[in-house]
Amino acid sequence: AQKVTQAQTEISVVEKEDVTLDCVYETRDTTYYLFWYKQPPSGELVFLIRRNSFDEQNEISGRYSWNFQKSTSSFNFTITASQVVDSAVYFCALSGVTFGNEKLTFGTGTRLTIIP
């Protein structure tokens, strides 16, 4: 069975600070996908990134960066120089690769509040 743990329920930081959201996963699959989603106050979930398990290169997109470490089963998300618009609930998720194993397993989310 797959499991995603986001231990941080809520985080508050002052604007311009860096913040890291933790994600730890469990799976018996040797290959899998990891995802991050953002849910702003409007409610719609916005896809941020997909990472394949065989690619452990860290990724950077503007102020966002993702640190995938297979050895510790973690896929952490860092926002650099946070802004008020980053305030949202962030979900980490995991899915299998094989046919019939496409469902995403989501963590419980981390509510991030950026204080102006």
Partner 1 sequence: SQTIHQWPATLVQPVGSPLSLECTVEGTSNPNLYWYRQAAGRGLQLLFYSVGIGQISSEVPQNLSASRPQDRQFILSSKKLLLSDSGFYLCACQKLGLAGSRELFFGEGSRLTVL
Q: How far is the CB of 96 from partner 1 (least distance, A)?
A: 8
The Cα–Cα gap between 107 and 6 comes to 6
- Stretch touching partner 1 by CB under 8 A, among 39-47, 57-65, 66-74, 76-84: 39-47
Q: Could you tell me which of 111, 101, 105 has the C-alpha nearest to residue 35? A: 105
Number of residues that bind partner 1 (CB under 8 A): 20
Minimal distance, residue 2 CB to partner 1, in Å: 12
Residue among 41 and 116 whose Cβ is closer to partner 1? 41
Q: Which residues contact 31 (CB under 8 A, 6 or more apart)?
A: 52, 53, 54, 97
How buried is residue 13: exposed, middle or buried, by Cβ count under 10 Å (0-12/13-18/19+)? middle
Q: For residues 105 and 95, is the Cβ–Cβ distance under 8 A?
A: yes
| Tokens at 79, concatenated | 């926002």
**15-23, 63-71, 76-84, 104-112 -> range binding partner 1 (CB under 8 A):** 104-112
Taking the complex as a whole, the smallest distance from the CB of residue 16 to partner 1 amounts, in Å, to 27
* Interacting residues toward partner 1 by CB under 8 A: 33, 35, 42-47, 50, 52, 91, 95, 97, 102-104, 106-109
